[in-house]
Amino acid sequence: MKKILIFGGNGFLGSNIGLLASKIGWEVYISDRGNKAIIPNVESRAADITDFETTTSIINEISPNVIVNAAAIADIDFAEKERGLTQKVNVDAAINIALICRTKKIRHIFISSDAVFNGLKDEYTETDITDPVNYYGKTKQEAEKGIMLVNPDSVIIRISLVLGFPLGSGNSFVSEIEIKLKNGNVINAPMDIIRTPVDVHTLANVVMELGQNSLSGIIHIGSTEKINRYDLACKLAIALGYNPELIKPVMSTVDQPSKASRHKNGILKIDKAGAVLRTKMLTLDDTILNATQRIR
């Protein structure tokens, strides 16, 4: 039985990857700040990944075939303010995990972001120059470079926006919309922030496929179509069974002093994924359909 270790395994993406891996017969281990896994029959190791000694010890103990690093400080505004901590988690720990994987010949998958781009182009390929507009994006940029330097066999998955429901805690755009609509709250959704979203089930399948092949380098994962946040929120509301009248179109808040800058066009070209993966990249409608399905 193959073993997979997921750092950030209790988060939105990490837990969905773990659930899928468990269902298809892998021995699943998760490592997170909490000491209890939210997935049934999965072992957990509590750890702060910035503690290199503990991280190394966990990897030595489990000796996995695949490591997925889905752990990150992903709150863009928090990252902007807490740069020291964000550097340690998003860059230093990420490179350390990649280095251990190379030393021990463990398949390594790192989750990155379209935030490495400035959002001024119409779309982005894997080979486009990175130029982040906020500190979170800068840490992902630095992590990508460091990982490929110490472990060129790594796979770096860039994503634009992940849709779906978390198994426990975790940041989820779909859950946030559902809760607000259920409570009758108005949702302000920007029309000038454009993404190529992927549903969490498709992304988990991609991760597991990449865990079993020899592809290396950067790959973009997303839907076959782009959409702005306002239209996406409306489509999600309808799919969840709500009237989208509470969703109001606004322009982005990039000029607010309390907010970190956001890249506007997070439009990832997925031609490479379509060419090298068995997992199919979905249309926008199918992505939304998948994203609004409950745990399966």
pLDDT digits (tens, 9 = 90+) for 122-138: 999 999 999 999 999 99
| pLDDT-based confidence at residue 255 (cuts at 50, 70, 90) | low
| pLDDT-based confidence at residue 1 (cuts at 50, 70, 90) | confident
Q: What percent of the chain has pLDDT over 70?
A: 97
pLDDT at residue 80 is higher than 80: yes
Is the model more confident about 10 or about 269? 269
- State the pLDDT at residue 253: 64
Give pTM, 2 decimals: 0.95
| pLDDT-based confidence at residue 60 (cuts at 50, 70, 90) | very high
Range of weakest confidence among 165-174, 202-211, 280-289: 165-174
Domains of the chain: 3-165+197-222+267-281 (3.40.50.720)
pLDDT at residue 171 is higher than 80: no
pLDDT at residue 151 is higher than 90: yes
CB contact at 8 A, 136 and 90: yes
- State the pLDDT at residue 212: 96
Please provide residue 146's backbone torsions phi and psi, each rounded to the nearest 5 degrees: -65, -40
pLDDT digits (tens, 9 = 90+) for 32-54: 887 677 888 888 998 899 999 99
Residue-averaged pLDDT of the chain:
94
- State the pLDDT at residue 93: 98
Provide mean pLDDT across the span 74-93.
Answer: 97
